[in-house]
Amino acid sequence: MTDISYTPPQSGSRMAKIVLRWGLYLMLGVFILFYLMPLFVMITTSFKSLDEIRTGDLISLPREVTLEAWRTAWSEACTGIQCEGVRPYFWNSVLIAIPAVLISTLIGALNGYVVAQWRFRGANLFFALMLFGCFIPFQVVLLPMARMLGLMGMAGTIPGLIFVHVIYGLGFTTLFFRNYYVSIPSELTKAAKVDGAGFFRIFWSIFLPLSLPIIVVTVIWQFTQIWNDFLFGVSFSQAGTQPVTVALNNIVNSTTGVKAYNVDMAAAIIAALPTLFVYVVAGKYFVRGLTAGSVKG
């Protein structure tokens, strides 16, 4: 006679999993609200008039949407003795960020290519020193960099700021590309050498076409760091060459009379839009690029 045992459904365990899952969703929802609340307040405040800000609720939606604060922040807000808005400083940041990102990415790719595929005596020491540069605080390099810019005749200029960001970013870009290129088999380089390809031919024809994931990572990283920088911008610039972060600080701290919170919020959003756009468009490739070279090395 066959003994058939009956196992009752584990309804209690299933219910516990459902409760745990919904509890996790609730906790994540609270964290999301907490994280996004400042952004919500900034956006809603930027579309309100000053009268509504004084009489309304901080987190309420605007009763009447107005773009006056945005227009003022872009072209009329005072950043000191000049009332030109953030527009000229926004374009200064563009002129600083784009060349600095391109140059530091290209040099970092060459450095990583050399350290990973063209082994030479002292390569590990070279890479360690480059890596050490990633951990040097900004404040430590201010005086030496100011002295160097003065000797080069680049103090207070946009090319000088580009030079500063390229030098400071090389440690990170070299690290990214070195870790990525280590995962590429060295036999590929050896085979190219046998076929007569030289240093730059191998780099341009083989390694650079394979580097799209890590290039995306490097561009996002460098662009975010350079665009959001304030310390270098305020230390190594002068009137006419200041980036948008310095202008934003001046707008917030140089207001006289009635405090225009809507203008401050609009200016802050304008300053943050480029980095926000980069993350929205290419953010999903950031993690993919970071993990692409993690198999080896």
Task: Check whether residue 49 and residue 176 sit in a common domain.
Answer: no
At 188, list the tokens.
Answer: 């590929």
Please give the span between the terminal C-alpha atoms of the chain, in angstroms, as a whole number.
Answer: 62
Task: Check whether residue 61 and residue 110 sit in a common domain.
Answer: no
Tell me which of 53, 75, 97 is where a domain ends.
75
pLDDT of residue 260: 85
Q: Answer whether residue 82 is part of any domain.
A: no
Q: Answer whether residue 4 is part of any domain.
A: no
Tell me which of 29, 53, 75 is where a domain ends.
75
Task: Check whether residue 47 and residue 145 sit in a common domain.
Answer: no
Domain CATH for 284: 1.10.3720.10
Task: Check whether residue 114 and residue 194 sit in a common domain.
Answer: yes
Task: Check whether residue 36 and residue 98 sit in a common domain.
Answer: no
The CA distance from 37 to 56, in Å, is: 17
Task: Check whether residue 54 and residue 95 sit in a common domain.
Answer: no
At 180, list the tokens.
Answer: 């990525």
- Position of tokens 């058939």? 4
Task: Check whether residue 69 and residue 198 sit in a common domain.
Answer: no
The b-or-e profile of 19-32 (16+ CB within 10 A means b, else e) is eeeeeeeeeeeeee
**How do residues 48-102 score in pLDDT, each as one tens digit?**
988 888 887 778 888 888 899 999 999 988 887 788 889 999 999 999 999 999 9
Instruction: Give the closest residue to 38 by CA, choosing from 265, 251, 249.
Output: 265
Task: Count the neighbouring beta carbons within 10 Å of the beta carbon of residue 296.
Answer: 9
Task: Check whether residue 249 and residue 105 sit in a common domain.
Answer: yes
Q: Answer whether residue 80 is part of any domain.
A: no
pLDDT of residue 188: 83
Tell me which of 75, 101, 117 is where a domain ends.
75
Q: Answer whether residue 7 is part of any domain.
A: no
pLDDT greater than 60 at residue 2: no
Per the model's pLDDT, the better-predicted residue between 292 and 216 turns out to be 216
Task: Check whether residue 133 and residue 163 sit in a common domain.
Answer: yes
Task: Check whether residue 176 and residue 282 sit in a common domain.
Answer: yes
Model pTM score: 0.83
**How do residues 274-286 score in pLDDT, each as one tens digit?**
998 888 887 777 7
| 130 contacts 170 by C-beta, under 8 angstroms | yes
Q: Answer whether residue 9 is part of any domain.
A: no
Specify the number of domains making up the chain: 2
The b-or-e profile of 70-88 (16+ CB within 10 A means b, else e) is bebbbeebbbeeeeebbbb
Burial of 229: CB neighbours in 10 Å, binned 0-12, 13-18, 19+? buried
pLDDT of residue 297: 44
Count helices and strands (H / E) in the chain. Answer: 14, 0
Task: Check whether residue 128 and residue 25 sit in a common domain.
Answer: no
Quote the mean pLDDT of the chain.
85
| 108 contacts 170 by C-beta, under 8 angstroms | yes
- Residue 37 CB partners (closer than 8 Å, separation 6+): 59
The CA distance from 141 to 126, in Å, is: 20
**How do residues 7-33 score in pLDDT, each as one tens digit?**
555 566 788 888 888 989 999 999 999
Q: Answer whether residue 145 is part of any domain.
A: yes
The CA distance from 284 to 290, in Å, is: 11
- Position of tokens 């872009």? 74
Give the domain extent around 20: 14-75
At 29, list the tokens.
Answer: 């929802």
| 243 contacts 157 by C-beta, under 8 angstroms | no
Task: Check whether residue 131 and residue 219 sit in a common domain.
Answer: yes
pLDDT greater than 90 at residue 109: yes
Q: Answer whether residue 81 is part of any domain.
A: no
Q: Answer whether residue 243 is part of any domain.
A: yes
The CA distance from 247 to 232, in Å, is: 13
